[in-house]
Structure 1
């Protein structure tokens, strides 16, 4: 009988035990590390290759236009009445009545307020009595003058008839002196009458000043008194009312920077807005550019006055206005955006450095630097500038000569740019 020989299966533990001798684990780890590094290098190379292909420049563009350009000078100012009067009192006293209030329309000569008149009326009566007394004294002294005059004439006649013997010389001198004293008393009495009349006139004038009248036609902007209030006018006339004349026409006072004042002149048109009506644009016209300067926040400015029509009385004194004065209007001009004049393309990477750069440099590239920082549009004395247009997907420089600017668009006065030309205003890299 043949005996069957059973094949022995390999024991897994035995196999593992054979491979777990000294040095086997470290070799496995070493190979695994190299495998991971190789995979990382391949991944980096693939990413760098695709990134290089995707690192493309895109350009944000706008087009040149043909149109009109309005050049303005901007400033802020305050609306004021064309004529504003402060009504005061020359007298001290107590306010008896107030006959005008805020926003009241008043006319010239209209009563605004009245002061108490009891004291002044008493003084007027007193000086009227003084005048009557002085006049009576004058009449009395005139009688004395006539009496002394007659006595002097009698003595002179008697002396003439008696050959200057009687009456005596002493009696003649006494009669003459008495007559002269009577004449002097008459002059003094007449002066007293004049003085009393003058004082009466003064108090009558003061009495008339207890009534406060409006000096102009206008509207009451401010009332500073109440009935029963005491007014003290010892040092200066207190202000009782402020009246503005005809608010249907107003003036706008603005401070113009010294850099812009040379472009302003009388008669130029302007527009302005106020916070109270931001949706409405109001017209105005320059009536005066003053030569006197003043310094506002360290800047030299010149006060400019504009005439404003206010038929609907929407505008009020004291409102702050933002003004734009039209200093130049250019029609049918070639216009380019100011952003196109400020644009400068970035530096292109050199081909050699792109090929010889390290993998780390490709993985972490530095951003490209522009040729120079962006500059503002050239000033009037620097008319030469340049813009960039696209040809076959590349930015190409175009020299230009610039003219006036409104801060957004600039006039091109020379050749190089035509309406509709595409101009680069910014660079977009990888969609950013």
Structure 2
């Protein structure tokens, strides 16, 4: 039993080892067959694809030659439009004619102040009064002196009249008549002096009332009751004559050269959306050497939104020109400057350098570079190249302008 068991086990081991190589060979053969089938399938597919793509490539080339496969682009023929040139500027607001009102006389203690800033006043209206008790008494004294002088003059005249009657009878000499005539004349002269002194006092008393030199709007008040003022006290009130205001618009040299007196302008105070219409009434004859700017003075009527010393912006109408107008999407720029793409008669893209003008609600004006009858690429010009053949599609002018971003 013991001798036979090893022999049986040995026979079993030899059977297993003899079957392993054959199994591996079968697996290898199967993998090779599968690989060959896959390679054959790929080769067949590539052969089919090549046969089908060749006609497609040939057709695409043919289409490109006659423009059938070209990119479709929207074009616009801008023509020429009347464009109003607008110049924008900023500056400070001020009274067009500012009138400082001070003490016209000797001054004194202020008794009443009758107006406040923001009030309208008429020409000659009393703004404030000064205590005139002393001056009033002085005027009364001078009036009394006038009456005394007048009484002396009347007496001298009466004596002269009586003397003339006596000289005819020989009681009084002609020399006495001359003396009495001189006395009468001196008395009349004293009357004139007294009257002049009284008139001067009365005029000074009238000047104690501070009055508006012209109708306008009170801007500032620098006096209070009880304050002692004199000719050296400075301006007690500031009045804008007629309530007229102005904007001191700062413009560059180039813009200032385009503006003329009388052109309309629209002023918008900062912090407000009120548009106030005015016009340029004066242009500065000099240019500031530091900032190279000049001043255009824009007159505007009174408006509650205008406060002198405030800041405002202005849009000045500087004439009208006839030029092409394009949507902003049609104008591109690079290191060489601004340019557009136009489509020529052969439907080829051509680069055209342009000079842009002002921005309007209708689009961007072209100052030079276009006549207005060209076919201009309206959109996506950055994806095109000069010389490329395209398929132009006309675009309505209204659609092009509506696509322009609002400013």
* TM superposition score normalised by structure 2: 0.61
How much is the aligned-residue C-alpha RMSD, in angstroms?
A: 3.9
Cα 1:113–1:132 shift into 2, 3 Å:
same
Q: Distance in 2 between matches of 1:338 and 1:229?
A: 68
What does residue range 215-254 of structure 1 map to in structure 2 within 5 Å? 215-233=213-231, 238-245=234-241, 247=243, 250-254=245-249
Gaps of 5+ in 2: 1-72, 344-348, 384-407
What does residue range 123-202 of structure 1 map to in structure 2 within 5 Å? 123-155=138-170, 175-202=173-200
8 A Cα contact 1:337 1:410, kept in partner: no
What does residue range 379-398 of structure 1 map to in structure 2 within 5 Å? 386-387=339-340, 398=351
1:90: how far off? 1.1
What does residue range 41-190 of structure 1 map to in structure 2 within 5 Å? 71-91=85-105, 92-155=107-170, 175-190=173-188
Matched, 1:264 2:222: no
Name the structure 2 match of 1:320.
311
8 A Cα contact 1:70 1:406, kept in partner: no
From 369, 372, 380, give the equivalent of 1:422.
Answer: 380
Higher helix content, 1 or 2: 2
1:73: how far off? 1.6
1:187: how far off? 0.4
What does residue range 278-427 of structure 1 map to in structure 2 within 5 Å? 280=273, 282-290=275-283, 292-295=285-288, 297-299=290-292, 301-308=294-301, 310=303, 313-328=304-319, 333-335=324-326, 337=328, 342-344=333-335, 386-387=339-340, 398-402=351-355, 404-406=357-359, 409-411=364-366, 412-414=369-371, 418-424=376-382
Q: Distance in 1 between matches of 2:205 and 2:124?
A: 16
From 209, 212, 215, give the equivalent of 1:211.
Answer: 209
Q: Distance in 1 between matches of 2:221 and 2:275?
A: 29
8 A Cα contact 1:334 1:413, kept in partner: no
Count of aligned positions:
300
1:155: how far off? 3.1
| Superimposed CA distance per residue, residues 361-419 of structure 1 (whole angstroms, 9 cap, x where no aligned partner) | xxxxxxxxxxxxx65x6xxxxxxxx44689xxxxx761345463449945152366514
Higher strand content, 1 or 2: 1
Cα 1:127–1:406 shift into 2, 3 Å:
same
Q: Distance in 1 between matches of 2:237 and 2:216?
A: 12
1:337: how far off? 4.7
8 A Cα contact 1:264 1:289, kept in partner: no
1:84: how far off? 3.7
Name the structure 2 match of 1:364.
none
Q: Distance in 1 between matches of 2:213 and 2:186?
A: 41
Q: Distance in 1 between matches of 2:215 and 2:158?
A: 57
1:98: how far off? 1.3
Q: Distance in 1 between matches of 2:75 and 2:258?
A: 27
Cα 1:296–1:246 shift into 2, 3 Å:
farther
Name the structure 2 match of 1:30.
none
| Superimposed CA distance per residue, residues 28-78 of structure 1 (whole angstroms, 9 cap, x where no aligned partner) | xxxxxxxxxxxxxxxxxxxxxxxxxxxxxxxxxx99875976642222223
Q: Distance in 2 between matches of 1:64 and 1:326?
A: 31
1:341: how far off? 5.4
Q: Distance in 2 between matches of 1:75 and 1:259?
A: 12
Corresponding residue SS for 1:261: helix
* TM superposition score normalised by structure 1: 0.58
1:286: how far off? 2.1
1:343: how far off? 0.7
Cα 1:230–1:79 shift into 2, 3 Å:
same
